[in-house]
Structure 1
Amino acid sequence: MSRCKMIALSSAGILASVVTSPAAGEVRYDPASRVFRLTGGDTEYDIAIDEQGYLRPAYWGKALDAATPITLPLLPAPPVIGAMDPPSSVTAQEYAGQGGGIVTEPGIKVAFADGNRDLVLKYRSHRIAGETLTIELADISRPFTVTLRYTVDPATGIVGRSATARNDGKAPVRIDQIAAATLTLPYRPGYRLSYLAGRQLAEFGFAQQDVGPALAVLESRRGGTSNHMSPWFAIDQKGVSDEEHGPVWFGTLGWSGSWRISVGTDLIGRVRIAGGYNPYDFSWQLRPGETLETPIFYVGYSDDGMGGASRLQHRFQIAGILPGNGRPKVRPVLYNSWEATEFAIDEAGQIALAEKAARIGVERFVMDDGWFGKRDSDRAGLGDWTPSRTKFPNGLGPLIDRVHKLGMEFGLWVEPEMVNPDSDLYRAHPDWVINFTGRPRTESRNQLTLNLARADVRDHVLKVLDELLTTNDIQYLKWDYNRSFSEPGWPEQPVADQQRLYVDYTRNLYHILAELKKRHPRVEIESCSSGGGRVDLGILRYTNQVWTSDNTDAFDRLTIQDGFTHAFTPAIMMAWTTDVPNWATGRTVDLSYRFLSAMQGGLGVGNNLNKWGAADFDVATRMIADYKTIRETVQTGALYRLARPGDGGPTVDTLYVADDKRQAILFHMLQNYQARDDVPAIRLRGLDPDRRYTVRLAGGGKLPDGIPASALGSRWMSQGVTIPLRGDFKGAALIFE
């Protein structure tokens, strides 16, 4: 039985030029040790080329001193592996082809035209340009290459990984599976996987399970991101990691189509992770000279627990993903007309709502579904994006003008990827929907999905939206997407190319959004999909905010928002107040509680203002006024989850601290009283210990007894603050400045 050899990868080449820790945001290669070191923030990601030319994962975690040697286990395999498991099956590769005997998840799986399915990838070359590293891998004999691309964010150390396959042969190669990245963590006891799962009305449920040899698969097979599961994972260690301490490795896929992330341990306990296109119903014929590029898999590490991982992701998304070149516009206070009018829309009714919305401080008025074509219900009109002549005989101009005169921006709801069979568009182009010839066309919500993968459909959707924005002074689109793929056919394509639908659809969606942004740079877009069904780092490059869930119940939203912020920044998270009893849950809570729940993201109002009394308008006016003084901190500051919905306690306590530490907001939400007279103090985090902070209640009112009007940050963090509340579903927000 063979022995496991270990080699210390010399850092002599590094020491020759660097004698201190590496600067933030570096990619370096040491030719002596053949090690690549990617550093940013407080983290490091290292790769090595072994003696046989394989690219190997070397290290991923807290940044090391530049002089630290990197060790790498080389072939042959450890002695615990027997004849049934050859060395190739347990040797961790940075990105392996399905070949050479590997049995773990490969980076890529192909079939050559002659039937060969063996792909063995070895290092060929690399290039470093600033904070970007590209490494070319090539098959040992066939003219087939995979180029790996790495970008490292200087501030957070988050690495963006993607792969591009190229066929340099003379015959097509069928790709059956391709990942953006595969990742490896060394053996440690107690690895635990965290993920976000749920359904419509209950998105972003935070769940955890042990990592073991049974492969855990997080995925969407629906053609879109999905409400069922979010393309995000985190791995920590039980008994070592908690909310603010210990190691956490995490990753998020930037893709709005079908996706897959798999997590499991191999035969010797190492965690193997793969993420990219979902291989379910996937096939891509790569023609000679053609390439296929994957989405980007953004991966990172925190030594400060799950809270630290969240804050890194929030910073990275604000600085490097969202529109705005690192300075995204704060979310304006929004009013949406849906719950007030549903499809019963007309000019006079919308103007009346706009006037009431302006009274309470709303900054953006949005008219929802029902304004176009013959749209009197969800059975007709989708696809016909011109204003209804009966509802708006003079077009949208008079309404838009009135909204602007009231000091608000104007927005519209659209669902441009869908079509009702009862529409002029479908009657003219029944072939434009996703379908299999001669098979049923399953409707959902009385609608079918337009095949955006087709260039003519893509160009039509872009044209009608461009005309809508050109002929009307619109500042915002609520872009909805209310069904998954079914019968995913593309009969106009050759059989070998029909499954390109899954990739080309999403690529063309991005093309439309990018072109609209280019032509109408001041128009903002919200990504909505029956709630939170399209939230990912792909769509967020083109949209300014997302709809978190159709469930607007203020109590349920605390759980949804808690899960959401594990992976995504509150800067994009829209949260509304709506009427009670809530349509989704039947629950009734007071308006103040509803505002406090919604003020923890981008604030929106969806109530029927025609039914409000003077007291409601007073509460809303005060809350919105205070929200405008704190929203930048809420949306772009550091988030601390002090007491979570899943912790088993009666309260949810969430703290937001401004980047300059000059402001902080504590939201204290009581679920139920149950004789909670002995209320524990809530210790704040992240404040400047030497600064004095004054405190006031959001919405006005007298501070509870025992809370000083001002104190040093050290006092608020060491002794905390006690907020006595009585009753069920009661809340308070303290603003520290």
Structure 2
Amino acid sequence: MAVANGSPMSTGSASQLVHLYWGPTLPRDEDYIQHITFPERSSFDYAPLIWPHEYRPWHGRMYQEPSLRVTFSDGTRDVAWKFERAEVAAMKDTHRLTLCFSDPKGLDIKLHYETRDEQDVIARWVEVTNVSQDIVQVTHLSSAVWSLPILPAYRTTTVYGDWGREFQLQRSFLSYGKQVIESRKGHTSHQTNPLFMLDSGNANEESGDVWFGALAWSGNWKIAFERNTHNQLSVSGGLNDFDFVSVLGPREKVASPHFYAGYTNDGFGGASREMHRLAHRIQEEFGTKERPTPVLYNSWEATYFDVNEPDQMKLAEIAADLGVELFVVDDGWFGRRNSDTAGLGDWTVNPEKFPDGLDPLIRHVQGLGMKFGIWVEPEMVNPDSDLYRAHPDWVLHFPDRDRTLARHQAVLDYSNQAVRDHIFGLLDELLSRHSIAFVKWDMNRPLTEPGSATLAPDMQPEVWTRHVEGLYEILGRLHTRHPNVVFESCSGGGGRVDLAMLQFASQFWTSDNTDAYDRLRIQEGFSYAYPASTMRAWVTDSPQFMNHRKVPLVFRFHSAMMGALGIGADISQWTTEEREEAAKRVELYKTIRHLVTDGELYRLLSPTFGTVSGADTGGIGAGYGGGYGVASGDAGAWSAVEYADQKGTEAVVFVLGRGTQYGDPTPVIRPVGLDDNMVYTLEVLDVHTADEQRFYGMWDLAPRSGLAWARMGFRLLLRGDYASAIIRFKAVVE
């Protein structure tokens, strides 16, 4: 049965669910049918070991990465599943296949497959139900196993990083054996992200076979790539089995996260655009797609914890003059919050900082034509807080062990319903009493001592998953009660970015590192799975704390305008000239915002790989650190990103570079998202270069067809440090 992308499977023999094909759709249903036969070479090489399994419950001689492991009450620790039936359902544009299996000891297993019309992505997840009268412990639960066709080589594209260095792209060929990416920290993590792309080593940005996927989960997760000596590759993923258990009583069930995957022959760019469409669809389904994405001002770097009503009003007045549409008060407005050592957990307005509450500030902000937003960190508590003093047992901890603090805070026990109800009540009251349009939800530390005062000893490892489920519960309840409030997901920057959070959040805080040059690589890695509309990007002061380098204000704006634009600088210290410069760019951003947030994204020059990312151009301007205008060994010399509307009538290209060498212009930039037969004019919307006369002197502004622009491209002579330009293509209306 072809599910999507031409991805059929067979129940094979002995209830072994075998994958047959994953790739472009074939012309006939009969083309998918094939008989899987592998001879048994020895007692060590059990034939089913090399079958391309669709799912792998642990039993018998199944030695690969398991998909499902359980412990029954009699000590049995395997799953002897038997195929029962297939169920097919259609709902509007959605199609679902459910394969039902059972184990005679009292276990029902359902493998779900779901596709949507007009989108070549499959969603898979698994439900396990205890139908016995005894306790069953699930100790490993994957969402899916994806089997790739046999290729001469397998190259992975994933991301790595840490705080302030999220979403760093890396590509490597898989050797034989198993490679794992994972999080064990209780959130999605800064160190990696649950996304992957796979190719044979021949794909480029806009052509070639690419298989891709992403896991929708905001806690501990694991994705394993396993390549055997027969050159078969499988990708399994789901809940991390590290310190994992789900204890099921009679009739209780557990479900895995959704694991999305797809195939394209349009290269890495085609895979990213499929992922972006998926993200937009999730947001549309759950009501979190905000349009237009407002230009935001956040007062954190202007005031830090020294928040008060007069200063915030002054900042709001300046922000309104810049064209800002949403004014956000960050940390420091609540409890006895004068530093990061106290106040977390006490979500009531600080009466010394706001003697009359928040309403006077909110009315002032709204009177200036802006919406009002606020920062919270509801999963955390300081020991120096009223909440902790009243309920010290409400934090995660192990009995008779020290409680690990990070940033002077502990983690609340979201497995405890009383804790969840308390936090929901405080936030519900805050949003009910005040006209708040936006909430930045932060999480500034990972989990430690994952123990709960309310769970039985054998259920303690459930804290990991129950924390995430509790987070989803609170956000879901708030979304139901306050459907017009927009949430932004933050975890010390990009520590909680994943598809599941898009059910509740309109944007992600991409990184605490707002250095405009560093952001080029962070934003490129982010774009591999998540659309620009979800990528909040700020303009902050220079020098910035991360690198202390001086970057021009124009470059900082151009870098941030490639996402959901925000400003986080101390604008009270900006000169009149700087404010005028900023207002000009905010106004410009609003004219191209529809392209950035809803256009198709094309990566034309990579700040990571230094490659020409458009059509195959025979290597002109391409290569790892090679090509015109790219210094050897400095792959990040230039970045160029295009956003094009889906009708092909308009596109905008951002070009940014740290600086030229030897007087060379940029590599040839070839726009991709234009209609071959339409004629386009090229217009410079904004430019920062040390030599504008020579910049404009090399232009040939004659209109050309989309195909001509794509084949011939253009080059810019951007001189000086941190030079940049914004270019617009517009179709000529005849």
Shorter-chain-normalised TM-score: which range?
A: over 0.9
Counterpart code for 1:357 = A
* Residue from 562, 576, 587 that aligns with 2:538: 576
Is 1:720 aligned to residue 713 of structure 2?
yes
Aligned 8 A contact 2:22 2:149 in 1? no
Partner of 2:76: 116
The aligned runs of 1:46-57 (5 Å cut-off) are 46-57=8-19
Counterpart code for 2:296 = L
Deviation at 1:581, TM superposition (A): 0.7
Whole-angstrom CA distance in 2 between matches of 1:320 and 1:494: 36
Counterpart code for 1:224 = H
* Residue from 589, 598, 604 that aligns with 2:560: 598
Whole-angstrom CA distance in 1 between matches of 2:726 and 2:42: 61
* Residue from 181, 193, 199 that aligns with 1:218: 181
Whole-angstrom CA distance in 2 between matches of 1:331 and 1:460: 31
Whole-angstrom CA distance in 1 between matches of 2:145 and 2:643: 34
Deviation at 1:66, TM superposition (A): 3.0
The aligned runs of 1:412-561 (5 Å cut-off) are 412-561=374-523
Is 1:101 aligned to residue 61 of structure 2?
yes
Whole-angstrom CA distance in 2 between matches of 1:164 and 1:555: 45
Whole-angstrom CA distance in 1 between matches of 2:686 and 2:155: 41
Partner of 1:78: 39
TM-score, normalized by length of structure 1?
0.92
* Residue from 677, 697, 700 that aligns with 1:690: 677
Partner of 2:190: 227
Aligned 8 A contact 1:90 1:267 in 2? no
Aligned 8 A contact 1:55 1:122 in 2? no
Aligned 8 A contact 2:394 2:453 in 1? no
Shift in CA distance, 511/552, structure 1 to aligned 2, threshold 3 Å: same
Q: List per-residue Cα deviations over 1:371-409 (Å, max 9, x = no partner).
A: 111100000000111111100000001100000010000
Shift in CA distance, 267/168, structure 1 to aligned 2, threshold 3 Å: farther
Whole-angstrom CA distance in 1 between matches of 2:681 and 2:36: 59
Deviation at 1:138, TM superposition (A): 1.8
Counterpart code for 2:436 = I
Deviation at 1:631, TM superposition (A): 1.1
Q: List per-residue Cα deviations over 1:114-170 (Å, max 9, x = no partner).
A: 12122122321111111111110223x322121011111222210110000111112
Partner of 1:38: 3
Shift in CA distance, 679/195, structure 1 to aligned 2, threshold 3 Å: closer
Aligned 8 A contact 1:491 1:498 in 2? no
Shift in CA distance, 89/258, structure 1 to aligned 2, threshold 3 Å: same
Q: List per-residue Cα deviations over 1:679-699 (Å, max 9, x = no partner).
A: 443111110233333333334
Does 396-405 or 711-720 show the bigger shift?
711-720
Partner of 1:350: 312
Partner of 1:636: 598
Q: Secondary structure in 1 aligned to 2:466?
A: helix
Is 1:260 aligned to residue 247 of structure 2?
no
Q: List per-residue Cα deviations over 1:6-35 (Å, max 9, x = no partner).
A: xxxxxxxxxxxxxxxxxxxxxxxxxxxxxx
Count of paired positions: 695
Partner of 1:296: 258
Whole-angstrom CA distance in 2 between matches of 1:215 and 1:303: 26
Whole-angstrom CA distance in 1 between matches of 2:389 and 2:189: 29
- Among all aligned residue pairs of Structure 1 and Structure 2, give the percentage whose two residues are the same amino acid: 40
Partner of 1:276: 238
* Residue from 151, 160, 178 that aligns with 1:197: 160
Partner of 2:28: 66
Q: List per-residue Cα deviations over 1:226-272 (Å, max 9, x = no partner).
A: 1111011111111x211111111111111111111111212422111
Whole-angstrom CA distance in 1 between matches of 2:284 and 2:165: 25
Partner of 1:3: none
Deviation at 1:73, TM superposition (A): 4.2
Q: Secondary structure in 2 aligned to 1:452?
A: coil
Q: List per-residue Cα deviations over 1:690-710 (Å, max 9, x = no partner).
A: 333333333479882324164
Counterpart code for 1:311 = R
Partner of 2:653: 666
Q: List per-residue Cα deviations over 1:620-642 (Å, max 9, x = no partner).
A: 11111111111111112111111
Aligned 8 A contact 1:619 1:699 in 2? no
Is 1:184 aligned to residue 144 of structure 2?
no
Q: Secondary structure in 1 aligned to 2:302?
A: helix
Whole-angstrom CA distance in 1 between matches of 2:437 and 2:288: 21
Q: Secondary structure in 2 aligned to 1:176?
A: strand
Aligned 8 A contact 1:321 1:537 in 2? no
* Residue from 108, 112, 133 that aligns with 2:97: 133
Aligned 8 A contact 1:96 1:120 in 2? no
Whole-angstrom CA distance in 1 between matches of 2:164 and 2:225: 27
Gaps of 5+ in 2: 611-624, 631-636
Q: Secondary structure in 2 aligned to 1:653?
A: strand
Counterpart code for 2:676 = P
Whole-angstrom CA distance in 1 between matches of 2:289 and 2:508: 17
Aligned 8 A contact 2:210 2:267 in 1? yes
CA RMSD of aligned residues (A): 1.6
Q: Secondary structure in 1 aligned to 2:139?
A: strand
Aligned 8 A contact 1:478 1:526 in 2? yes
Q: Secondary structure in 1 aligned to 2:137?
A: strand
Partner of 2:616: none
Q: Secondary structure in 1 aligned to 2:2?
A: strand
Deviation at 1:676, TM superposition (A): 3.4
Shift in CA distance, 491/325, structure 1 to aligned 2, threshold 3 Å: closer
Q: List per-residue Cα deviations over 1:461-506 (Å, max 9, x = no partner).
A: 1100000000010000010000001111113211111111111111
Whole-angstrom CA distance in 1 between matches of 2:259 and 2:435: 37
Whole-angstrom CA distance in 1 between matches of 2:336 and 2:529: 40
Whole-angstrom CA distance in 2 between matches of 1:155 and 1:551: 37
Is 1:653 aligned to residue 614 of structure 2?
no
TM-score, normalized by length of structure 2?
0.92
Whole-angstrom CA distance in 2 between matches of 1:323 and 1:332: 21
Q: List per-residue Cα deviations over 1:258-313 (Å, max 9, x = no partner).
A: 11111121242211111111000111222221111111001111111111100111
* Residue from 564, 567, 574 that aligns with 1:612: 574
Q: Secondary structure in 2 aligned to 1:393?
A: coil
Shift in CA distance, 623/323, structure 1 to aligned 2, threshold 3 Å: farther
Aligned 8 A contact 2:680 2:704 in 1? yes
Does 596-605 or 282-291 show the bigger shift?
282-291
Shift in CA distance, 678/400, structure 1 to aligned 2, threshold 3 Å: closer
Aligned 8 A contact 2:139 2:246 in 1? yes
Whole-angstrom CA distance in 2 between matches of 1:554 and 1:247: 33
Aligned 8 A contact 1:552 1:578 in 2? yes
Aligned 8 A contact 1:183 1:274 in 2? yes
Does 591-600 or 61-70 show the bigger shift?
61-70
Whole-angstrom CA distance in 2 between matches of 1:539 and 1:72: 40
Counterpart code for 2:82 = K
Aligned 8 A contact 2:686 2:727 in 1? no
